[in-house]
Amino acid sequence: MNFFKSFLASCLGSLVAFVVLIFLVFSFFAAAISSLSSGDSQAVVEDNSVLHLRLDVPLSEMEADNPLEGLPIPGATDSPIGLLKLKNVIQHAAGDTKIKGIYLDVPVFMGGYAMAKEIRDALLDFRKTGKWVVSYNEVMTEQAYYIASAADKVYLNPEGEMEFNGMAIEVSFFKKMFDKLEIKPEIFRVGDFKSAVEPFMLDKMSEANRLQLNELIQSINNEVVKEIALSRDIEFARLKEISDRMAATTTREASELHLVDSLVYYDQVLDDLRDRLDLGKREDVTFIKYNKYKKSVSDYSSSKNEIAVIVADGDIVQGKAQQGMIGSTTFAQELRKARESKKVKAIVLRINSPGGSALASDVMWREVTLASKEKPIIASMGDYAASGGYYIAMGCDTIVAQPNTITGSIGVFSVL
C-alpha cells in the first residue's frame, strides 16, 4: 500500500513539475515575442550612433521576417540578410542625422562577387554623403577584403590573417570511380561549353571548359582588383602584381603594401571611433546593430504608382516554390498578379539562378513575355542568371547586370 502511495505521489510530482516547466517556457517565449513585436517594432536610434554591419552571415536576395530573431535561443543560427533590405538600410542610414558612420565587420562573405559589388557600391554611396565607414577584422578572406576596401579606413589585427592571392576554380571528376563501380551514366548534351556533365563523362577538364573558366575568373579578378586599386589609391598593375606574386602573406606585408591602413587591436579602433564622434576617452561608443536598425526602415513608399519586385532566387523547378528553388507555378502566379494589378505600373524581375528545368523555364518565360506586352518589365541579374535564368530574362524589355554577374546560355543537358 505504501508503495502505491509513493508511486502515485512521485507521478503527481513529476506531472506538476512538467506542467510548471511548460508554463515557464511558454511564458518566456510569449514575453520575449511580445517585446520583439511591440517594443522593437520601431527601433529607437540614439544621437551620435554608429551602425554596426556584421556581414559574416548567410545572404539571400530577399529577407524573411523571423519573429524569434534576437531571442537568446541556444544553438540558434543567424537569420539570412536580404540584399535588398541591406541596401535600403544603408541608404536610409545615409540620410539619418543620428547615424554618424558605419562600423563594418566582415571577416568572411557568404555571397557571390556580384552581390558583394552591390553592397560595396552602397557603402561608397554612403560615403559620398560625407559620412564615414570604418572596417576592422581579425581575419579577412579575399571577398571580404573586396567589400572592406570601400571603407575610409581598413584596419587589421596585428596577429590576424588576410587573403589576397587571386582566384581559382577546382573541378572534381568521377568517371574513374564510376568505371570501377561499373556504373555508366546516360548523358545527353548539346553545346561544347555545357560542362556541367563533364565530371561524369571525363577524367580531366575539356579544353572548352578550361577556356571558359579561365575567361571567367580572369574577368572577375580583373574587375575586383580594378575597384580595390581605385579605393586604395594603388596603381592597377602594381596591385595585380601583389596579388599574382602572393606578396601579402602576412599582416605586416599587407600594411607595408598599403592594402590596409593600420595593424591595430579592437580597443584602438574604438579610440578612432571616439575621435570621429567627438567623445571622451572614457565615453562609450553607441552602436546599433543591423537587426535592430532595420526595424526603423520602411520597405514601402506612399506613391500610388507601385513597382512590383519579383525575386527568382534558386534552381528552377516545376510546380510550387520551395526553399532555395523557383517554382514555375508560384512564379507564374506572382507575375500574373503583378501584370493584372492596376496599381502596378512596372515590374522588376530580380534573377539569381543557375537555371534548372527547361520546361519550367519555358512556362516562366511565357509569363514574362505576356507581362512585357502590358507594362515595362526590367530584369536585374544578381550573382547568376545562367541557362534557364538567362532564358526568362530574354522576355524582359531591359536587362541589367553587374560586371561580376555570371550569365549566358551555352546549351542543355540531361543525365539518366
**Side chain identity at 243, as an amino acid letter?**
S
Helix, coil or strand: residue 415: strand
Active-site residue, from 98, 194, 240, 292 = 194
Q: Looking up cell 503583378, which residue turns up?
A: 338
- Longest Cα–Cα distance of the chain, Å, equals 92
Distance between alpha carbon 386 and the CA centroid of its chain, in Å? 18
Helix, coil or strand: residue 99: strand
Helix, coil or strand: residue 276: helix
Q: Do 391 and 361 touch, CB atoms closer than 8 A?
A: yes
Q: Name, in order, each residue with C-beta under 8 angstroms of 400's C-beta and a sequence gap of 6 or more.
A: 378, 379, 380, 381
240 is catalytic: no
Q: What is the DSSP string of 212-258?
A: HHHHHHHHHHHHHHHHHHHHHT--HHHHHHHHHTT---SHHHHHHTT
CA dihedral 363, 369, 372, 374 (to 10 degrees): -90
Please give, one letter per residue, the 3-state secondary structure of 375-388: CCEEEEEEEEEECH
87 is catalytic: no
CA dihedral 414, 325, 86, 166 (to 10 degrees): -20
Q: Name, in order, each residue with C-beta under 8 angstroms of 56's C-beta and a sequence gap of 6 or more.
A: 105, 106, 107, 108, 109, 110, 144
Helix, coil or strand: residue 123: helix
Q: Do 384 and 194 touch, CB atoms closer than 8 A?
A: no
Active-site residue, from 49, 243, 387, 409 = 387
Q: Cite the active site residues.
A: 194, 387
